[in-house]
């Protein structure tokens, strides 16, 4: 028997006969573009710029240059600021069950980001972290550079 993911999924599956599950739930709601967008969150693309590895979604040349100047080119600090998926900005949370679910989702995203970074940059070591400063979880990453201060705490 599968571990329940969320009461809404379970209630939906019980409203039908047969053995429906999370994949049936998703397929009844998502179009191909939806699937592609979600897949890209779990398997993002990255760019290397001025010694930094960045999530392609956050790289914008003028913004990067502003942070590069502000942080005196400190690659780890720049990565720490820019490489964040602030899940609370995209997902509404309503209650304790949702809080647990979004934290589990953050853990899954962090797992796949780590694997993606390792696959794309086998010569580098990464620190992938989950932080919550009160609004909800944020998944982020930096390149491990022993000579620089690391602002992240691994999950």
pLDDT for 105-132, tens place per residue?
A: 999 999 999 999 999 999 999 999 999 9
Confidence at residue 7, expressed as pLDDT on a 0 to 100 scale: 84
127/24 Cα distance (integer angstroms): 34
Sign of the CA dihedral running 42, 47, 52, 55 = negative
Full-prediction pTM beyond 0.85? yes
In the chain, domain spans: 44-143
* Tens digit of each residue's pLDDT (9 = 90 or more) over 20-71: 888 888 999 999 999 999 999 999 999 999 999 999 999 999 999 999 999 9
Among 91-100, 115-124, 145-154, which is the least confidently predicted range? Answer: 145-154
Residue 82 burial (C-beta neighbours within 10 Å; 0-12, 13-18, 19+): buried
């Amino acid at each position: 028997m599968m571990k329940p993911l969320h009461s809404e999924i379970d209630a939906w599956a019980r409203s039908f006969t047969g053995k429906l599950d999370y994949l049936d739930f998703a397929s009844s709601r998502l179009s191909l573009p939806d699937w592609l967008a979600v897949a890209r969150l779990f398997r993002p693309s990255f760019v290397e710029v001025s010694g930094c590895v960045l999530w392609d979604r956050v790289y914008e040349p003028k913004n990067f240059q502003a942070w590069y100047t502000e942080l005196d080119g400190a690659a780890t600090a720049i990565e720490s600021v820019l490489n964040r998926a602030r899940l609370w900005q995209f997902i509404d949370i309503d209650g304790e069950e949702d809080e647990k679910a979004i934290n589990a989702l953050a853990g899954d995203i962090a797992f796949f980001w780590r694997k993606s970074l390792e696959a794309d940059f086998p010569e580098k070591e990464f620190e992938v972290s989950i932080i919550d400063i009160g609004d909800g979880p944020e998944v982020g990453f930096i390149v491990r550079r022993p000579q620089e201060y690391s602002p992240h705490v691994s999950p």
